[in-house]
A = this chain, B = another copy of it.
Amino acid sequence: MNEHIVKSFDEDLKKLDNIIAEMGGMAEVQLADAIEALIKRDTDLADQVITSDKKIDILEHEMDGQATATLALRQPLADDLRVTITALRTASLIERIGDYAKNIAKRSVVLAQSPPLGPTKSIGRMAALVQGMIKDVLDAYMTRDVEKAAAVRARDADADLLHTSLFREILTYMMEDPRTITSCTHLLFVAKNLERIGDHATNVAENVHYLVTGDLPADEREKSDASSFTLVETE
């Protein structure tokens, strides 16, 4: 094959990686800002997160165009086909992480209108865990590091456990002071959004495994989020 064609094909695939890197970086910032807006009750920052989400959406469209063009013009096989499909999927996962960050920002605006809530501290702790997962899984993607991806996947169980305990904590808080019902409800959804972001980081980790090995991880993923089954009794 003509060397020029080969070179520009590699460049095409590299472009896909670059879009993932850019989207991933943006999603990290969006989540960090949304959590800061929530904790510091900074509605200007929250508004900024809500507006900036469009940039991630635009990049996802760019990925769609780029990946489809690569499939049509290059007709990639085996490894290259896998890179293209995985980039498409990963972009969609990152876009959804961005959506969750935006939703956290929206809810932080409402939360800033009522008195601060005790469980917000635990939200910060859960966010830190999930932010670490995103950072590591993006690194794993860029360096094709299956071990690092597996470690992220393993950490999802911690995120689920933290979410279940946070769910209980917030419910208990509401019961002790029913005036906080509305604001605590928004906090419950923030916690749920973080749990979903952890799931999506885990899905990206599974994509990294597929990207490198051609298979999905063999072991069934442990699901430890019991919040859907959680019953907190009133006294």
Contacts and interface: CB of A to CB of B under 8 A. Distances in A.
Contacts of A189: 192, 228
A229 B109 contact: yes
A13 to B, nearest CB: 15
A107 B234 contact: no
Nearest to A77: B72
Size class of the contact patch on chain A: 35 or more
Contacts of A92: 89, 92
Nearest to A180: B234
Q: How many copies does the complex hold?
A: 2
B179 A229 contact: no
Interface centre among A175, A231, A232 (most CB of B within 10 A): A231
A8 to B, nearest CB: 18
Nearest to A106: B228
A127 to B, nearest CB: 17
A234 B114 CA distance: 11
A103 interface: yes
A58 interface: no
A232 B178 CA distance: 12
A174 interface: yes
Interface in A92-143: 92, 103, 106-107, 109-110, 113-114
A113 B233 CA distance: 11
A5 interface: no
